[in-house]
Amino acid sequence: MSSTFPQRPASTLAALPTPCLLLDRDILTANLTRMAGQVAARGVRFRPHLKTAKCAEIARLAAPLPGGAITVSTLREAEYFAHHGWSDIFYAVGLGPGKLARAAALLRDGAQLVTMVDHPAAAMAVSDYATREKVRFHTVIEIDCGDRRGGVLPDSEELLAIAKLLGPNFAGVATHGGHSYDQPGERGRNAVAKVEAKAVRTASLRLQRAGFPHAIVSLGSSPTAVADADLTGVTEIRAGVYMFWDLYQAGIGVSRIEDIALTVLAEVIGRPASRPNEFLIDAGAFALSKDVSTSSLPEKKNAGYGWLCDLDGLYMPGLKVDRVWQEHGRVVSSKPLPDDRFQIGSRVRVLPNHACPTAAAHDRYFVLSNGDVVAEWPRVNGW
């Protein structure tokens, strides 16, 4: 037992409260630049999805104003980004009748809010509300390209029925090839990307032929955004997790571990004497989330609740958060400890299994550049 505590590096990381969310701006910027370039090379507009980042500072980098088009997952995000200057906003979750008034308020305030439905009853609710309240929605029809979450099939009768019900509120079609996440290889992702593009193209052509012209033919997911598929007829690509990446995306080979911009800073708070290859950190189920997406991957890619990196962001193989309680995370080491890096009071960074829910537990990012904390950026959580 030593009477001194590990030296903090000459970085303000030492002054941060733990647990907290770190965002490496240098890695973020590289991720944004790379994706924007890849999408631009495909010849369509990019509409970054802010569901992961939920932060105006990040949106300013991903979809610069004026003119930046964005995607959001909640109306609270839509309201927040509209307040921060974005106008072209796609709320990419089926619009329930209970949200019509909030969506209409955004439209009245001047936002070009795009909404989405996939059911005749939802379309009728849009139409009825629009007529009654003298507002015009820009509503796309959600297409199911095989992800089997929401959406109508591109060759379904409902497609045309919904467009008819939407009337002047009809604005196009959109799909999300979320099953690209289940593809561990490039070939599988390219196949999903082709199915995704074909689904909206088919739906769009049917609608055009039936007399329903429209401006929006939207698709996307981070894995398919960079895949190889013919985008004829597609007007825009959406993607979100690419901003930060995570261990799941690294596990399926869409990114590398060193591309992960998001980590959780934690302190070592326990070193059980009877379990020498373990230590406890102050980041548990709440700070990391209980998402274990990588558990569906081969065991060597199963990151538990996160793998560790050091304070410089360097991945440290063999260290995994294998169990969490509300405010405790248990790290197991594949090699013998003790290790001077993991004494009581030492700090570590945890790479997220899945960036979206990990980020959602935190109200702000502590932003790093060249290893220094250079800013705090707030997030807009909730609904």
Span 86-125, contacts to its own copies by CB under 8 A: 93-99, 102, 118-122, 124-125
By CB under 8 A, tell whether 275 contacts its own copies.
yes
Q: Whose Cβ is closer to its own copies: residue 144's or residue 231's?
A: 144
Backbone region of residue 377 per phi and psi (left: phi > 0; alpha: psi in -120 to 50; beta: other values): beta
- Number of shown-chain residues binding its own copies (CB under 8 A): 73
CA angle 84, 22, 296 (to 5 degrees): 105
Beta strands in the chain (DSSP E): 20-24, 45-46, 69-72, 88-91, 112-117, 138-143, 170-175, 216-219, 236-237, 262-270, 278-281, 307-309, 315-324, 329-333, 347-351, 364-369, 372-378
- Residue 323: how many CA atoms within 13 Å on its side-chain side? 7
Amino acid, res. 366 = F
Q: Whose Cβ is closer to its own copies: residue 186's or residue 267's?
A: 267
Q: What residues contact residue 145 under an 8 Å CB cut-off, 6+ apart? A: 151, 154, 175, 176, 177, 195, 196, 198, 199, 200, 219
- Count the neighbouring beta carbons within 10 Å of the beta carbon of residue 284: 22
By CB under 8 A, tell whether 361 contacts its own copies.
yes
Binder to its own copies among 38, 112, 135, 267 (CB under 8 A)? 267
Binding to its own copies in span 34-63, by CB under 8 A: 51
By CB under 8 A, tell whether 152 contacts its own copies.
yes
Q: Whose Cβ is closer to its own copies: residue 214's or residue 347's?
A: 347
Task: Please give the Cα distance from 60 to 84 (Å, whole number).
Answer: 10
CB of 132 to its own copies, least distance (A): 13
Binding to its own copies in span 68-87, by CB under 8 A: 73-75
Q: Whose Cβ is closer to its own copies: residue 133's or residue 325's?
A: 325
Binding to its own copies in span 307-346, by CB under 8 A: 325-328, 330, 343-345
CB of 26 to its own copies, least distance (A): 25
By CB under 8 A, tell whether 167 contacts its own copies.
no
Binder to its own copies among 30, 153, 297, 316 (CB under 8 A)? 153
Q: Which stretch binds its own copies (CB under 8 A): 59-67, 151-159, 208-216, 314-322?
A: 151-159
Q: Whose Cβ is closer to its own copies: residue 155's or residue 228's?
A: 155
Rounded to the nearest 10°, the torsion over CA 207, 226, 320, 290 is: -20
Binding to its own copies in span 363-382, by CB under 8 A: 363, 381-382
Rounded to the nearest 10°, the torsion over CA 70, 72, 77, 80 is: 10
Q: Whose Cβ is closer to its own copies: residue 29's or residue 295's?
A: 295
